[in-house]
Each structure stands twice: as C-alpha cells, then as structure tokens.
Amino acid sequence: MPAYAAAGAAVGGVWAFGGDTPAWEHALRVLVVVLCVSVAVRLVGRRLTRTGRPPVDRGLFFALVTAKVLLVAVALFVDRLAGLWFSEPALITAGFLFVLVTVGGPALHGRLAHENPPCRAGC
C-alpha cells in the first residue's frame, strides 16, 4: 500500500505542479511519467527473473498500461469538470489522482494479476 501512496503522490504532484499549463499538457506529462515507470518496472522484472523470481506477465503489463492510460483520460475529464466550479481545477484533479491510485491501485492490480481459479467439476 505505501508504494501505491507514493505512486499516487507522484502522479498527483506532476498534475498539481503543472497547474499553469493546459490540461492536455498535464495529461501528456502524467502519461509519460506512468508509461516510463511501467517500462522501468518491466525491465526490473526481467532482471529479477534472472534471480529466480517469476517474470511479470506480458498480459498483466499491457492491462496495467491500458488502465493507466484510462486513468489519465478520466483525469482530463475530472479536470474539465472541476474547471466549471473551481478556479484551480489542477489541485482538485491532483487530489483525485492521489486518492484513486492509493485506494484503487492495489485492488485493480490484484484483480488484473489474479489468475483464473482452477476449474472444478461441472465447469
């Protein structure tokens, strides 16, 4: 859970500190950050494979990248919606990203990483 809080803080921070730029630029920055982190984790996973740990599943990797792209799309929507009511929508969106990654990250990762249960008699 602390790793997801750190990731949420990083993504939210990138969004918040770019508050003086257009929302599409926020989205591009955040997308670059999350995709670079995803690739770095994939490369580290390959290195850990050599040490005897199981490799990161390719399907899981692409599912998580897709989820991150969708997260940025939702953040753009939230930023636009918050801009209707608040003068600083970037701060609202940054908080939203932090909470969503911190709380939803472990659940989503667990759901995507969980293999199908074995088939019992009568499947």
Of the candidates 3, 40, 29, which has an alpha carbon nearest to the alpha carbon of residue 94?
29
Report if residue 8 sits inside a domain: yes
Percent of the residues in the chain that have a pLDDT greater than 70, as a whole number:
70
The number of distinct structural domains making up the chain is 1
111 close to 67: Cβ distance less than 8 angstroms? no
Range of the domain at 57: 2-113
Give mean pLDDT, residues 2-9. Answer: 81
Residue pLDDT, tens place only, 27-43:
787 778 777 777 776 67
pLDDT for res 2: 77
Report if residue 47 sits inside a domain: yes
DSSP 20: T
pLDDT for res 85: 92
- 49, amino acid identity: T
Report if residue 33 sits inside a domain: yes
Report if residue 121 sits inside a domain: no
Cα–Cα distance, 80 to 73 (Å, whole number) = 11
Cα–Cα distance, 81 to 85 (Å, whole number) = 8
